[in-house]
Structure 1
Amino acid sequence: MAFWLDIAAFALKALLIVAAVGGLAVLIARLARSGEAKDKDKEIKVRSLNERYDEMRDAMNGALLDKKERKALARAGKKEAKAAVKARRGQEPGKRIYVLAFKGDMRASAVKRLGAEIDAVLIAARPGTDEAVIRIESPGGTVTGYGLAAAEILRLREHKIKVTASVDQVAASGGYMMACAADRIVAAPFAVVGSIGVVAPVPNLHRLLQKNEIDFEEITAGEFKRTVSVLGEITPAGREHFRGKLDSTHEAFKAHVHECRPNVDMAKVANGDYWLAREALGLGLVDELSTGDELLFRVRDSARLYEVSTEARKTLLQQLLGGFGIAARKTADVIAGKLGAL
């Protein structure tokens, strides 16, 4: 009899464990599903870059100066801070520079985030006083995506917020379409800019299908509904119509650049070629040679610098997992401390 009671007790414990694990799995799945929609929501993050520079200065002084020198420097710093507070009393806060970053891909998928960050800047910025610096890195991509990104930047100018585009590595094609929407372009000497042109690579497998006796039919309504396709035959008329679309897009691109930078000789630069920034300076494609870091470093004492970015809100599941991770690290630290004391 005792044997069967032990078996029953074991089965009950196993059932409870399976139920607990199953319930936890369902809870995690529900939390994950509930977080999918929320993960799309972004929250604005604002960080003072001046404070970051101050932290760098304090770290360097702490490592390089002796105790007496640090105390003297701290006293001098307090006096300067008090004097600055007195000078600012009754005055409007100084210039603010909002720093945004855009890292582009073929679809300009970061444009939605850029639009939200520009919304945040427009809510807080003072027309005619504050500025925005947009650090762009992109080799270009779709006309629609980068056309929208350029239009987002133009919103700042329409609201009387001066805009500087900073290019450290590459802003070509659609990336340059964005950059030239700013009031000025500052680029590192070996950054790549330009490529004011349009390209549309279209692989065509029609002859391969014919060779293997495979029929492909694409039924359309409208003469120009599908002039070029991957599987269908590309006719001379279809090819010519498609080329005309590319030409009209190129003309729109050139018109955009000319409107933003009227002193550029479009005949020289709108041939699809690209240049290093040190060459582009003479062509009027950029206004100044400097890295983005140097650009901000120079103005750190004359303006308040704020980095504006977007970040996905953490789901409940992510918060729980993050809490478990923190608890595990603290436990490990405690154990390590005790072992070290032995």
Structure 2
Amino acid sequence: MEFFIEYAGFLAKTVTLVIAILVVLASFAALRSKGRRKSAGQLQVSKLNDFYKGLRERLEQTLLDKDQLKTLRKAEGKAEGKAEKAGKKNKDKPATKPRVFVLDFDGDIKASATESLRHEITALLTLATPKDEVVLRLESGGGMVHSYGLASSQLARIRQAGVPLTVCIDKVAASGGYMMACIGEKIISAPFAILGSIGVVAQLPNVNRLLKKHDIDFEVLTAGEYKRTLTVFGENTEKGREKFQEDLDITHELFKNFVSNYRPQLAIDEVATGEVWLGVAALDKRLVDELKTSDEYLAERAKGAEVYHLHYAERKSLQERIGMAASGSVDRMLLNWWSRLTQQRFW
């Protein structure tokens, strides 16, 4: 036990020193960037066909001998030559492959990724046609109603433009995440991804009795009968609880209507219970249309289409980058310390 106490003391000193250094660096960066305009982000575009081709060629170079590789490359060269000649003959009607635009959304409770998503969608809609396709790789367990409402509205722009939208879910699309997913004309899920949770939840602690016990008064003054329904510090009333529950029920009804509008094939009262299902069961409930990973789907599409990955990257200041690095470092150090002390295992 003495070892652990000494180790904890050493770790605390180390963490304190690291944080102090990072604070100094962040302050220096803030002074340097003071008065400068924040630079805008930029759209990064990469062709996934080249990525898949590189993987295949790397494997071929490892597995095939020189003669086999030479024969294969010669055959590929002939095929490309024939395609090029065919293209020159049909100049009036050039054969163009359909395009697939791939977007990623990794959602937190505030749906922060919406800021990048909106720019990516704005960009692709300047070129995309109904002959193209947008594929969204979605991961989210949900979050704030208004945040995911905005994220869903961004995806609705794609549907309104008449561009086919496919949503791929490898891990989770629940609650607000499923609100986004249901907009897709096709929803593809990995067999054990988590889907559903079509419900609304709100919770808050109330410490009013604790305050009274210590003779502490807390006053809440409002203008408007329902400006405050439930509070953390004030004394909650049954009337306030009823109004709060009514608001939740209204939000839930709007959620159900939204999902039903985009997926009328659902038995909405059966699935809008707040429950979640794994992909295999979700297919039976018609929450998804097909069981497949996003990798499998995109690899198949790359055989007959030009696949482009779009990512709008915000240019973070030096101060922001240092802050993110500091936060990640401290989190990892504390997690490592806790797991050593408790021998806790994480799934």
TM range (shorter): 0.7 to 0.9
SS in 1 for 2:288: coil
Corresponding residue for residue 209 of structure 2: 207
User: In the TM superposition, what whole-angstrom CA distance separates every residue of 1:276-299 from its partner, at most 9, and x where no partner exists?
Assistant: 010010111000000000011111
For 2:240 and 2:319, the matched residues in 1 are separated by 53
Amino acid across the alignment from 2:248: L
| Residues in 1 aligned to 2:49 and 2:167: alpha-carbon distance in whole angstroms | 20
Counterpart of 1:237, as a letter, is K
Q: Which amino acid is 2:258 matched to? A: H
Give the AA of the match of 1:106: I
Mapping of residues 192-203 of structure 1, within 5 Å: 192-203=194-205
Deviation at 1:85, TM superposition (A): 2.4
Amino acid at match of 1:99: V
Residue 192 of structure 1 deviates from its aligned partner by 0.3
Instruction: Report the equivalent of 1:143.
Output: 145
Match of 1:220 among 212, 219, 222: 222
The worse-fitting range, judged by mean Cα deviation, of 308-317 and 65-74 is 308-317
Closer/same/farther in 2, CA of residues 34 and 309 from structure 1, 3 Å limit: farther
**Equivalent residue number for residue 252 of structure 1:** 254
Q: Does 1:276 align with 2:278?
A: yes
Higher-Rg structure is 1
Distance 1:176 1:35, change over 3 A: farther
CA distance in 2, matches of 1:180, 1:214: 49
1:311 to 291, 310, 313: 313
Q: Give the whole-Å Cα distance in 2 for the aligned partners of 1:179 and 1:105.
A: 15
Q: Which residue of 2 aligns with 1:290?
A: 292
Sort the Cα spacing of 1:281 and 1:29 in 2 relative to 1 into closer, same or farther, 3 A. Answer: closer
Distance 1:273 1:317 in 2: 42
Aligned-residue RMSD, C-alpha: 2.0
Instruction: From the superposition, tell whether residues 184 and 55 of structure 1 become closer, same or farther in structure 2 (CA, over 3 Å).
Output: same
Work out the CA distance in 2 between the residues paired with 1:311 and 1:185: 26
Query: d(CA) in 2 for partners of 1:88 and 1:270?
Result: 52
Cα deviation for residue 64 of structure 1 reads 1.2
Q: Of 113, 117, 123, which residue of structure 2 is paired with 1:114? A: 117
- Report what 1:32 is aligned to: 33
2:98 to 95, 98, 102: 95
1:233 pairs with one of 229, 232, 235: 235
- Gaps (5+ residues) in structure 2? 1-25, 321-347
Question: How far is 1:310 from its partner?
Answer: 1.4
**Matches of 2:105 and 2:27 in 1, distance apart?**
38
Aligned partners of 2:314 and 2:33: how far apart in 1? Answer: 14
- TM-score, normalised relative to structure 2: 0.80
Cα displacement (A) at 1:169:
0.4
User: TM-score normalised to the size of structure 1?
Assistant: 0.81
Q: Distance in 1 between matches of 2:264 and 2:97?
A: 32
Establish whether residue 55 from structure 1 lines up as the match of residue 54 from structure 2.
yes
Q: 1:317 to 1:270 in 2, by over 3 A?
A: closer
2:38 match: secondary structure: helix
- How far the C-alpha of 1:86 sits from its partner, in A, is 3.0
Could you list the runs of 4 or more consecutive aligned residues of structure 1 that deviate by over 4 angstroms after TM superposition? 25-30, 314-318
Point out where structure 1 has 5 or more consecutive residues left out of the alignment.
1-24, 319-342
Q: Provide the secondary structure at the position in 2 that maps to 1:102.
A: strand
Q: Among the aligned pairs, what percent are the same residue?
A: 44
Residues matched between the structures, number: 291
Aligned partners of 1:31 and 1:317 also within 8 Å: no
Amino acid at match of 2:104: A
Q: Distance in 1 between matches of 2:28 and 2:180?
A: 45
